[in-house]
Structure 1
């Protein structure tokens, strides 16, 4: 017995020794590898080091002097969401921290330099750049160091994503944007966003490291038809509040006016009217401005004075006249604010890069500081390449700011659609030929976010951009990380995958995932044996269940209720189409077993399909009202074709038995 006890004691001693050693051994050495996190937009550089770090329930936050209070507040929110209960404060790093210390500040701070040195990291030196370092040794240090205030704010967005993991991987991220301007232009026709929509949108833009929002709704009368008139006090106040929200989110709020339909280019009074408009916006905190000259008739003058000043109307004369007006506005902006951002304009010839008299006039006469927007090779281009952008640079005499008309749904070909495919077919490397990229979103703000997430990620790091993975990330963000809601959203997105152009050919196909699944069913029914047919029908039933249940999951599972509200008719129609597909699957199952019930299932499916196809858009929400499209050309075609895929039983046998196929289930 004594010798046996000795063996037990030795085992216990070995276990204790092993447990003690585990404290000192990095996690990856114990079979827990340090995995590379996915961050969106993709960082410029990410290097894993050694070990992982748990934040725990108590941390010390060291904020360098001069750090933006809003940025500090965002860090505290991230820590609280990660389960930290106590956030203490300190001014400097101790020699041997007793718990996790988080250092936050700009490059010129001594405590930031000290923290970077201990992390063996260097600061990213680009505009809007940052370095984020996690050291797992000892109690742990997390450094968020910004090249500037914007960069530090972006670092917090990366930290927000990292802190969702159970532990932080030890790493060094050095990151900065590829394009100086990234964001959205609310430039669509139809019902403008509400101020609440815009506020939510600005909060969202911050999470994807976008830095620009252009206020340019076509149906704001005080920005277009009545542009010379002052805004009502209440509207001006609301715009001021919006500008404050943008500043908190480190987003440049750009105000756009569209005087083209009525402006007299040579009249000093109209130049003064533009200056008054911008002065009023400057007084409420707006510092960036834009003049839109798109969608106007430039082969005729709005006033006789312009004919005298510029000669007969025409494309070249229009370019000269517009340049004169814009140069005067740019000079006024610079005189009133030496640090003002350059004026942005969208020309009348805003698409293609063909050499024309109009473009030549702008190239020759327009102040080189003024930024020109360009929509690509067409109003809605199917793709944009580096040579396309180079051609635009040559045509306009400067690198352009891309106005990408995706996912906007204000033209006839988009009637009944939400455009929710991944942002794709823009060539990596475009950052070398563009000053930036702005997405023109849909009338529906929240459903626009998947596409806008892609635009922002492409603008941040176009060479590392992955459309599909970024698309999945956008679904997870809308779902608040819930896997079931994420899957439901991706199912919904697939039914809204078609991206039209102004022509007859779309640049993204409709419902590619669902089409692949339904094609597989068709093939199995046509070529498979009995077991293959049954598996295909079972798979179809499962897919139909996913479609039918997705709307309720989305309504309950998305973290922003505005998504479900703005997508309501699409979710309603999707649910009916899902039920129609469930009945179709039941009909195929009945037909495969030889049951005359198949006909009833198919009839009920057709009834539901008609009901689904009759659901229309929310009146007035988009420029063109019409019937909702759900995986059109794919789902409706399958429901229609299904009764012809298996010959159903036509009668009950004389003895009342249901005839069955000899190779089917009994």
Structure 2
């Protein structure tokens, strides 16, 4: 049977259709290949043969398996083209029909299925095993075994990637996360995400096996300036709905409050206000909490009572006062919910690993159960090494939870930018010194997924993390698997590759792929060979076409619509810059032929470049707006220099 799938609005034959059209002998020699899975599993081994899902599959769920996960697996199989998924209580032997077994690794039916595949279960928290064994009549056995409910859910997310190919190779995957906490913190300044953005983001987090989302928008008045006040009923209901979605996505919804600008640490009324706030949120299903004490002054008290209780204001006194309050909050949380996760806090000194009186006070006085966040060696660190993390462990007296300020773009140096470079320059092995990583994303939720996918893949398996492969996978995911749209996204991502810091030097360079092409054009034009010049100009024209066409491809409806909406001004500017480069290529071609039209082409390119440079960010979308940056320092420089590269 020829099965067809929609690809970018067109119908394309699948590999399965091609395989069915070939002679049996030709099919028999087709090799199985290892699939690309993101995040990279801890262990993935190919077996012999492959399994075809076919029209119908038998699904066997072990007793006690979460019905939602069973439904998810059923939906994944249907999405992969299976027309009938029938349920059974036991695993039948042999036959042409593929059987899928799911459940806890210690369930008898799952143990037996793993044994048939010669596989053993992963025994780490959130761990899972997937075993695929080919059958003699074309069917096979696929087993998903979870160490726990979260592990089985993660197995389903991996299955989604495995069955994208119509011929599923025989293999065994044993997998578990390297870091216990993996996710994002909506902790930026400026316009918060909408509830729809947050819902989309939670679903995205589930797809990359994250387990934590921290609600901490700086511009939520009830979490910061008016933290003592109760939320309006409508907002509380919306947060409850969001927390429910997080549970369905196996993501821990953590509510963060920022009382630092006004709290009186020694006032029992303020401690009670914190507890009341958390009680109200516990009532809507939120069970994890966080107290943020960043971006505040500790050189002065907010009340005279603190001076009487802790002495003159200063770093050490602040550490003691904060510890006393947080310890009381932790005790209250545990008393009211013994299963609650530990309180998380972000300290006032969050941005380095140097010892200090403040850190010493936290180290000595803070309840050891409380999780401490740390942003690395700077607010926006250019790199993070194992020695850096070891120093933080020593300074805070516990392994820290990394708050990585990437790809957040709420500071002046990031004005006009989307930060879309791969997640890089974090050392493999950090999982031994961190309790986890939370990425602080951009105000633009969908574009944030490009870098966040890398953060979470690194947190899952830092030893096996590949930045470029994960970057490409993020583009494919946003493009819904469409090859042309994926290429257009990668072209666009490259123009947003620069990663700034609080200093003058970025920690990732701008537009490396485009720069390599443009540098190559310069070199071949300088070489003086006529054929080399013509080839260089042709290559430049092709690159210009890719830039000019990318925006329309991204907006064509295949790519996640949120991405196109939130990146609108950047896509507008990209198209103008692409057209300016097309005119530049035409100008160089004319100049190479001694054609007087070269000057007109260059003048038109300059005019379009000026229009592109004037495109502004969406007002109010980010804390610092301004002119949109597209491959700045690379593309603009080449267009400006081009008229002088060939005498006309």
Coarse TM-score class (shorter-chain normalised): over 0.9
Deviations 1:22-58 (A, max 9, x none): 97x996xx42111111100000111111001000010
Cα distance in 1 for partners of 2:158, 2:641 equals: 49
SS of 1:169's equivalent in the other structure is strand
1:116 to 114, 117, 127: 114
Q: Which residue of 2 aligns with 1:646?
A: 646
Matching of residue 303 in structure 1 with residue 307 in structure 2: no
2:31 to 6, 30, 33: 33
SS of 1:47's equivalent in the other structure is strand
SS of 2:335's equivalent in the other structure is helix
RMSD across aligned positions (CA): 1.2
Deviations 1:282-337 (A, max 9, x none): 00000100000000011100000000000000000000000000000000000001
Matching of residue 393 in structure 1 with residue 397 in structure 2: no
CA deviation after TM superposition for structure 1 residue 97, in Å:
4.2
Cα distance in 2 for partners of 1:500, 1:303 equals: 38
Cα distance in 2 for partners of 1:570, 1:50 equals: 48
Cα distance in 2 for partners of 1:315, 1:354 equals: 14
2:59 to 42, 49, 61: 61
CA deviation after TM superposition for structure 1 residue 559, in Å:
3.6
Structure whose CA Rg is larger: 1
CA deviation after TM superposition for structure 1 residue 119, in Å:
1.2
Cα distance in 2 for partners of 1:442, 1:558 equals: 23
8 Å contact from structure 2 (residues 577, 609) kept in 1 = yes
Deviations 1:222-246 (A, max 9, x none): 0000000000000000000000110
Number of paired residues?
Answer: 625
Cα distance in 2 for partners of 1:158, 1:612 equals: 41
Q: Which residue of 1 aligns with 2:284?
A: 284
8 Å contact from structure 1 (residues 183, 456) kept in 2 = yes
Which deviates more from structure 2 when the two are superposed, residues 399-408 or residues 88-97? 88-97
Q: Which residue of 2 aligns with 1:453?
A: 453
CA deviation after TM superposition for structure 1 residue 96, in Å:
3.2
Deviations 1:384-404 (A, max 9, x none): 000000000000000000000
Cα distance in 1 for partners of 2:69, 2:93 equals: 26
CA deviation after TM superposition for structure 1 residue 259, in Å:
0.2
Q: Which residue of 2 aligns with 1:439?
A: 439
Cα distance in 2 for partners of 1:371, 1:530 equals: 65
1:129 to 109, 127, 130: 127
Cα distance in 2 for partners of 1:79, 1:130 equals: 19
Q: Which residue of 2 aligns with 1:539?
A: 539
Cα distance in 1 for partners of 2:359, 2:547 equals: 49
Cα distance in 2 for partners of 1:207, 1:252 equals: 14
Map 1:305-324 → 2, pairs under 5 A? 305-324=305-324
Q: Which residue of 2 aligns with 1:93?
A: 91
Deviations 1:177-232 (A, max 9, x none): 00000010000000000000000000000110011000000000000000000000
8 Å contact from structure 1 (residues 320, 362) kept in 2 = yes
8 Å contact from structure 1 (residues 491, 550) kept in 2 = yes
Q: Which residue of 1 aligns with 2:488?
A: 488
Which consecutive segments of 4 or more residues in structure 1 shift more than 6 A?
none
Matching of residue 561 in structure 1 with residue 561 in structure 2: yes
Matching of residue 247 in structure 1 with residue 238 in structure 2: no
Q: Which residue of 1 aligns with 2:328?
A: 328
8 Å contact from structure 1 (residues 485, 557) kept in 2 = no
8 Å contact from structure 1 (residues 403, 438) kept in 2 = yes
Q: Which residue of 1 aligns with 2:9?
A: none
Q: Which residue of 1 aligns with 2:613?
A: 613
8 Å contact from structure 2 (residues 131, 142) kept in 1 = yes
CA deviation after TM superposition for structure 1 residue 114, in Å:
1.3
Map 1:506-517 → 2, pairs under 5 A? 506-517=506-517
Q: Which residue of 1 aligns with 2:203?
A: 203
8 Å contact from structure 1 (residues 482, 557) kept in 2 = no
Question: What are the ranges of 5 or more consecutive residues in structure 2 without an aligned counterpart?
Answer: 1-19
Cα distance in 1 for partners of 2:61, 2:95 equals: 16
CA deviation after TM superposition for structure 1 residue 111, in Å:
1.1
Q: Which residue of 1 aligns with 2:599?
A: 599
Cα distance in 1 for partners of 2:92, 2:57 equals: 13
CA deviation after TM superposition for structure 1 residue 95, in Å:
3.1
Cα distance in 1 for partners of 2:612, 2:96 equals: 62
Cα distance in 1 for partners of 2:179, 2:235 equals: 32
8 Å contact from structure 2 (residues 454, 471) kept in 1 = yes
Cα distance in 2 for partners of 1:80, 1:142 equals: 15
Distance change (3 Å), C-alpha of 1:513 and 1:98: closer
SS of 2:555's equivalent in the other structure is helix
Deviations 1:130-164 (A, max 9, x none): 00000102331100010000000000011000100
8 Å contact from structure 1 (residues 179, 435) kept in 2 = yes
Cα distance in 1 for partners of 2:560, 2:71 equals: 21
Q: Which residue of 2 aligns with 1:658?
A: none
SS of 1:327's equivalent in the other structure is helix
Cα distance in 2 for partners of 1:327, 1:74 equals: 40
SS of 1:425's equivalent in the other structure is coil
Q: Which residue of 1 aligns with 2:40?
A: 42
SS of 1:464's equivalent in the other structure is coil
